[in-house]
Amino acid sequence: MGHAVTIQISQSAAVNLLTPMLVITGLGLNGMARINASLKTVYEDRTVCLVQLDKILNALHMQRYDLNDAMDEIGQQINTVQTQTQNVVQAIALIVKRIEEISRISSAKSLSSEAEHLKKIVNAFLHDVKTA
């Protein structure tokens, strides 16, 4: 019976030592689970923001590309308008020269006065085109 009592005491001592260790282990595991849950919400909160920011940046880049394309097209149109304006100015300058030639050659006073009147109109138009 003495031997059985010692085994029983050693078993109860082992249980008494293991119980606090199991409680401490359980508390530690519970704390680790809480920390993981907290970190998970922080990660998810930041990840959602990053996804939204990525969408915004992609939309911004697409708008930039569209704007650059529009600017290129406007630049081409401006060049076309400038070329056409130069062609018109050159044509009008030729008309003015012809009018001057006609007014010099013509001996009729009425033709000369009409030419002068037309010359004034064309010169006014040329002035407006050059200043525009």
> What are 54-109's pLDDT values in tens digits?
899 999 999 999 999 999 999 999 999 888 888 888 888 887 887 777 766 655 55
- Total structural domains within the chain: 1
Has this prediction a pTM greater than 0.85? no
The residue range of the domain holding 31 is 2-131
Angle at which helices 109-131 and 2-105 pack, to 10 degrees? Answer: 170
Let me know the angle formed at the C-alpha of 94 by 98 and 102, rounded to the nearest 5 degrees. Answer: 5
Higher pLDDT, 48 or 21: 21
